[in-house]
Structure 1
Amino acid sequence: MKATKTALTVSLIITGFMAAEVHAATEWNVSLWGKRRAFTENVEKLAELVEQKTNGEFKLVLSYGGLSKARENLDGISFGAFEMAQFCSFYHTDKNPTITVTELPFSQDVSLARVGEIYTEVFNHPEVKKDLARWNATLLMPTPLPQYNIASKSDKLESLDDFKG
């Protein structure tokens, strides 16, 4: 089953042996890596909600490392090894250069909610959609994490010039 351009539908199977229609549950394999952690909680919650809202007719089957290596999730999506995956843009900047803008250092401190809004705007940009289409991928939702910051025992670091010396 292709991850993109696939409508979420409930399949009806009609056989010559049965007079009634039979609902077939739909399952999508989701490639994650490592262990369950803050980075994967949005996918865990999505899986829970999808199953709940569809009365179990549609399920996301989460696999932590069983479907692909962390740096190969875009590749797996591209050839249909699984239907969904989570990935880090900085793992392979050559594969998705347009979304690496979200990884730029020295951004001002913003809330996680604002980071999510920024990511969503980036993901909806036509160039980003075109970039990810090369991998048969569509970005569904961001995984906002706190920005990595540099700490110092000295005076406050306010610009790149403060790193001299």
Structure 2
Amino acid sequence: MTTVTIRLAAPADIPFIMQTERGEGFGEFVGRWELAQHEAEFAKAGNAYLIGEKDGSPNGFAILRDLDDPFGNVLLKRIAVREPGAGFGKAFLWLVMANAFGREKTHRLWLDVFVHNDRARHVYRSLGFREDGVLREAYAWPDGRRASQMLMSILRPEWR
């Protein structure tokens, strides 16, 4: 049986994170940053980088933002796993949610996901996230194309 665990990332994990977000086929689904931006985000007090491990080896990452938000709104900025569709991602996401709601001040965990990312939207819904609305053509790809994003969230009472 596969064991899925979660831990806080260390600066030494940034190359793994960058490699994961650049995985084959991820370009249309997962954002990516350059090293300088990851280092800047990693250093912010209100952010947490989390590493999901499968049987003790890194297999995914998540970035939580706004952990210091006075209204308790925490953003799941990014989550990606090395092997989508293998079942690890859902278990990892559950642990990310537990980490966010394990913080006393968190009331709402929210994210945005590309509307064309049906697999991710299905996983989010299966764990209790609700679709809040569409940000029409809110994302601009480097080549000028536009993509719409779905806002999704789960509240502490729904998490319980």
Which has a greater percent of helix? 1
Which one scores higher on RCO, CA 8 angstroms, separation ≥ 6?
1
Per the TM superposition, whether the score is higher than 0.5 is no
TM range (shorter): 0.3 to 0.5
Which has a greater percent of strand? 2
Which has the greater radius of gyration? 1
